[in-house]
Amino acid sequence: MKAEGFEPAAVVETSPDNFQAWLNHSQMLDAGASTRAAKAPEFIAGIETSSDGEAGQGEEPRKQSRRRRRQRTGIRPLEEFHADPTYAADLHRADMAWAKHAARRGCTMEEIKDELLDGRDLSKKGSRKRQLEYAERTARKAIDQMSG
């Protein structure tokens, strides 16, 4: 997939040496459509000729997985931190507080970064690259503060 220019959002080893890769795309597919898309050459061709050249932004499988992980581990939703009056609508402060909260409960830097990217509109941070840098910087700082 990477050789074809696709970056998986997640890769799961479903059985020994059998992997399933998830791509971000713009819409939620039912199980049947998802399976057909994963096996169909036309799907790959359609993505390659898409107007923006990217795989899209749909993130439902990751969001569902994170929701289940939060419920299992007692991690409060990022949205609660954003709505908390303690942070006076300063979403950066709320992001950092949530990232520290998640790090204390064992979330990895990648998990924290993904949640920050999906938790709110970061377009005012600039390009997608700048948004990624913001999320990574925030996650790294939270992890570093937990270990030091």
Q: What is the chain's mean pLDDT, rounded? A: 78
Indicate the number of domains in the chain: 2
Same domain, 29 and 70: no
Domain extent at residue 29: 2-48
Same domain, 70 and 103: yes
Of the CA atoms within 13 Å of residue 10, those in its CB half-sphere come to 17
Same domain, 84 and 42: no
CA distances from 56 to 21, 25, 30, 45, 94 (A): 15, 4, 17, 14, 27
Look up the pTM and report it: 0.55
| 42: three-class secondary structure by DSSP | helix
In a domain, residue 53? The reply is no
7-48 residue pLDDT tens? 778 888 888 878 777 777 666 666 666 666 666 755 555 555
